[in-house]
C-alpha cells in the first residue's frame, strides 16, 4: 500500500487518502450587489473536478468571515444565507465523489481590499470597490498600501465571534472539516509576529500576548464545531526574516502545542507572506523541514505544502515521517487528476470516475 493512499482518521472522520487540495483564492466571486462573496458555477466546476480527480480532501479557498475580511472583493464570504446555500451545493458535490469537503475561514487584515492577482494585486481604491482595512497595529504592508486601523479589544471580541458564526454556517452547509487561516501575513499572522504586532495591551508583547488572538479564535471555532469532526489551523512556520525579531519555527512549535491542547487536530504548515521583502529560499519541498520539526517537537499531526510535484517525492515525505498529509496547490491546478495518475505510478491504482472509464481503459 502506498502511504499516499492510506486513509487518515482525525477524530471520527476518515479521509480516504493523504493528497489534499490546498486552499487557493480564485478571485471569481461576484464583487458587487447582493451576490457579493457568493460562490459561482466556476467554483462548483473547479472544486468538483479536484474531487473527481481523487483528492482525499478538497478545501475551499480562504473565505472571509465578514465583508471587510476578504483579500479582495472577488473572494468568497460566509456571513449570509445566500453564501451558505451556494457553498452547500459545492460541499455536496465534493462528497458525492467520495472526497471530504473542507473550508478555510479567514480575515486578511492589512492585506485586505486588494485588486485581483491577475490584475497585479495591490491596494484597491474606494472608487474601485476598496474598503477600509484593519490590523494588529497601524503598520502598512508595503509602500503605497494604507495603514490599517488598529483593532480595539471590543472589535477583536466581535471578530472572534465572526469566526465562530462562519464556522456554524460552514457546518450547516455540509462541510466536514474547517480550517482557521493563521498564515501568509493575514490578520492572525499579523498578531503573531513582532514585525507587525507592536501592541502594548494583552494582545501584544510576548508570545502569550501575540498568540492570544490565534488561541481565542481556535477556541471559539472548536466550541461550535462537532466534537467528532476535525478543526485544522494553517500557520506560516517562519516569516523568513532572521535578521529581525520575527515569527519563527520555534514559536510555531509552541503555538502548535497550545492549539493541540485547545482541540486543533492538524497543523497545516506553510511559511512567509507577512512582509514583501522576505528572503525565501525556494526549492522542491522547501517547507517540508518546517512541518517535520513541528510534527516531531509538538507531537501533532501536520500537513506540508509547497513545490511538491512528483508522486515519489510526495510518497517519501510520508514514508520518512516528515508529515502526515501532503497538500497540493499549483500541481492540482495543472492536473486535477494528479492523484489518479500518482496512484498508477505508485502501484496503488484507484478507479477513475465511471464516466471517464473509456479514456483510461477501465469503467470504474
Choice between 1 and 84, residue whose per-residue pLDDT is larger: 84
Q: In this predicted model, what pLDDT tens digit does every residue of 6-57 receive, in sequence order?
A: 999 999 999 999 999 999 999 999 888 889 999 999 999 999 999 999 999 9
Q: In this predicted model, what pLDDT tens digit does every residue of 275-290 receive, in sequence order?
A: 999 999 999 999 999 9
Catalytic residue among 27, 186, 203, 337: 186
Residue 32 is predicted with a pLDDT of 84
Of the candidates 273, 271, 266, the one whose C-alpha atom is nearest the C-alpha of residue 298 is 266
Helix or strand holding residue 14 (H, E)? strand 13-15
| List of domains in the chain | 3-360 (3.20.20.70)
Residue 361 is predicted with a pLDDT of 64
Would the pLDDT of 81 be above 70?
yes
Mean pLDDT across the chain: 96
Residue 364 is predicted with a pLDDT of 40
Give the global pTM. 0.97
Would the pLDDT of 362 be above 80?
no
Q: Which three cell numbers stand for residue 78?
A: 460566509
The region of weakest confidence among 6-10, 142-146, 357-361 is 357-361
Return the sign of the alpha-carbon dihedral for residues 312, 313, 315, 316.
positive
Annotation marks residue 186 as catalytic = yes
Amino acid at each position: 500500500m502506498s502511504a499516499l493512499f492510506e486513509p487518515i482518521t482525525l477524530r471520527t472522520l476518515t479521509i480516504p487518502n493523504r493528497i489534499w487540495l490546498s486552499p487557493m483564492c480564485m478571485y471569481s466571486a461576484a464583487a458587487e450587489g447582493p451576490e457579493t462573496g457568493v460562490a459561482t458555477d466556476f467554483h462548483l466546476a473547479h472544486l468538483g473536478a479536484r474531487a473527481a480527480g481523487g483528492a482525499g480532501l478538497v478545501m475551499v479557498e480562504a473565505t472571509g468571515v465578514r465583508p471587510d475580511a476578504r483579500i479582495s472583493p472577488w473572494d468568497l464570504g460566509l456571513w449570509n444565507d445566500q453564501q451558505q446555500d451556494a457553498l452547500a451545493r459545492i460541499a455536496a458535490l465534493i462528497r458525492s465523489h467520495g472526497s471530504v469537503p473542507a473550508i478555510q475561514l479567514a480575515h486578511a487584515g492589512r492585506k485586505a481590499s486588494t485588486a485581483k492577482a491577475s490584475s497585479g494585486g495591490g491596494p484597491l481604491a474606494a472608487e474601485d470597490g476598496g474598503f477600509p482595512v484593519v490590523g494588529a497595529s497601524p503598520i502598512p504592508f508595503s509602500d503605497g498600501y494604507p495603514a490599517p486601523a488598529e483593532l480595539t479589544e471590543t472589535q477583536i471580541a466581535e471578530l472572534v465571534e465572526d469566526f465562530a458564526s462562519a464556522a456554524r454556517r460552514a457546518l450547516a452547509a455540509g462541510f466536514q472539516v474547517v480550517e482557521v487561516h493563521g498564515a501568509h501575513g493575514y490578520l492572525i499572522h499579523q498578531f503573531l509576529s513582532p514585525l507587525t504586532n507592536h501592541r502594548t495591551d494583552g494582545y501584544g508583547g510576548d508570545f502569550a500576548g501575540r498568540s492570544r488572538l490565534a488561541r481565542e479564535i481556535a477556541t471559539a471555532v472548536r466550541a461550535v464545531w462537532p466534537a467528532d469532526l476535525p478543526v485544522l489551523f494553517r500557520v506560516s512556520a517562519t516569516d523568513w526574516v532572521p535578521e529581525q525579531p520575527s515569527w519563527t519555527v520555534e514559536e510555531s512549535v509552541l503555538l502548535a502545542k497550545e492549539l493541540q491542547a485547545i482541540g486543533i487536530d492538524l497543523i497545516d504548515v506553510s511559511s512567509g507572506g507577512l512582509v514583501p521583502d522576505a528572503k525565501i529560499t525556494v526549492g522542491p519541498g522547501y517547507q517540508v523541514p518546517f512541518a517535520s520539526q513541528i510534527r516531531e517537537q509538538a507531537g501533532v499531526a501536520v500537513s506540508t505544502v509547497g513545490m511538491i510535484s512528483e508522486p515519489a517525492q510526495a510518497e517519501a515525505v510520508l514514508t520518512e515521517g516528515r508529515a502526515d498529509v501532503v497538500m497540493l496547490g499549483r500541481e492540482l491546478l495543472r492536473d486535477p487528476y494528479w492523484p489518479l495518475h500518482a496512484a498508477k505510478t505508485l502501484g496503488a491504482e484507484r478507479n477513475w470516475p465511471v464516466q471517464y472509464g473509456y479514456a483510461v481503459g477501465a469503467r470504474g
